[in-house]
Amino acid sequence: MRGTPRIGAGASRPGGLGHPRPVAERHVLAPHLGEAPGVAAVVGAAIAGLPVKVVAGFLENWPLTLIARPEFKSVKELRGRTLGVSSYGATPEVAARLIFKHFGIDPEKEIKVLALGSDAARITALKQKVVDVIVISPPADSQMEKLGFNILARAHEFFNLPYLGLGANTKKIKERADEVKRVIRAAIKANRYIYENRDGAAEVLVEWGKVERDFAYQSYDGIRNLFNLDGSVPEDGLRLVIEQAKKAAKITREISSSEVANFSLLREAQKSLGIKGR
């Protein structure tokens, strides 16, 4: 299943799972290379009936920013305006709608939405005044701000919407619990390494991701505070992902968190690391 991680991936790299640097390298690159498993993908698969569950969280929220043309100074000024997103119904649009609701704007009635595709297409549309505001991720947000556009809101400032995490087959959770636990421990160590080592994390992006150094640092700075340091997935955030998945699948029945997630091994991993979970 695309978007579901392979338990043990990266274990053969020099340094093994016990060393944070090799695992951290993959964590740093994942959001930029499209290799990271999304919590929403695992939840959606579980709701669809596949035997998978979320077992840990890595990135606590989507690194999404609302950035508007220079004349708009606040979200409230966007009432009746046009929003540019990558595609209809995707998480960036959902996040933007939640931000608008927070500021008292009805996104169904008071915001027009255009699906524009790539970052480059959205940026061009904003520059050419085809749209008034777009949803964008780091480091494009800071680059656009330097050009005079205004950052009006960042998703993580208003709600929890878990982004990257670890999903595992329910059979593997039961029969190979130690292996799953080792991966969780390694991921927590990796996130802590990334959080505490700005230069090291940026260097990974430069060397492995083949990006410019300034771009690497801007990317790191844009998502550093979203890295999860204990592997937990906030209940309110998980509920939000579940509701989003239910809507996409046109499911009306109640779905409990236990149907899509199992954090028993996470709690054991946290205990072994001397970490108190949330």
Please work out, in degrees rounded to the nearest 5, the angle formed at the alpha carbon of residue 219 by the alpha carbons of 217 and 225.
100
The pLDDT value given to residue 30: 41
Least Cα distance to 272 among 195, 190, 186 occurs for 186
The pLDDT value given to residue 37: 60
- Residue 11 placed within a domain: no
- CATH number for the domain harbouring residue 130: 3.40.190.10
CB 202 within 8 A of CB 36: no
Number of structural domains the chain divides into: 2
- Residue 219 placed within a domain: yes
The pLDDT value given to residue 27: 47
The pLDDT value given to residue 195: 92
Q: Are residues 56 and 72 in the same domain?
A: no
Among 130, 157, 184, where does a domain finish? 157
Residues 6+ apart with CB under 8 A from 222: 63, 137, 138, 139, 141, 142
Domain enclosing residue 69, as ranges: 65-157
Among 124, 157, 190, where does a domain finish? 157
Q: Are residues 136 and 268 in the same domain?
A: no
Among 131, 157, 183, where does a domain finish? 157
Q: Are residues 84 and 28 in the same domain?
A: no
Q: List the pLDDT tens digit at each of the 278 positions of the chain.
A: 333 333 333 322 323 333 444 444 444 444 433 334 689 999 999 999 999 999 999 988 888 999 999 999 999 999 999 999 999 988 889 899 999 999 999 999 999 999 999 999 999 999 999 999 999 988 888 889 999 999 999 999 998 889 889 999 999 999 999 999 999 999 999 999 999 999 998 898 888 878 889 888 988 888 898 999 999 999 999 999 999 899 888 999 999 999 999 999 999 999 999 998 77
The pLDDT value given to residue 144: 93
Q: Is 211 exposed, middle or buried (0-12, 13-18, 19+ CB in 10 A)?
A: middle
The pLDDT value given to residue 278: 75
The pLDDT value given to residue 15: 30
Q: Are residues 75 and 36 in the same domain?
A: no
Least Cα distance to 52 among 63, 41, 61 occurs for 41
The pLDDT value given to residue 171: 94
- Residue 52 placed within a domain: yes
Say what the pTM is.
Answer: 0.76
Q: Are residues 52 and 182 in the same domain?
A: yes
The pLDDT value given to residue 33: 32
- Residue 239 placed within a domain: yes
The pLDDT value given to residue 208: 81
The pLDDT value given to residue 29: 40
Q: Are residues 69 and 141 in the same domain?
A: yes
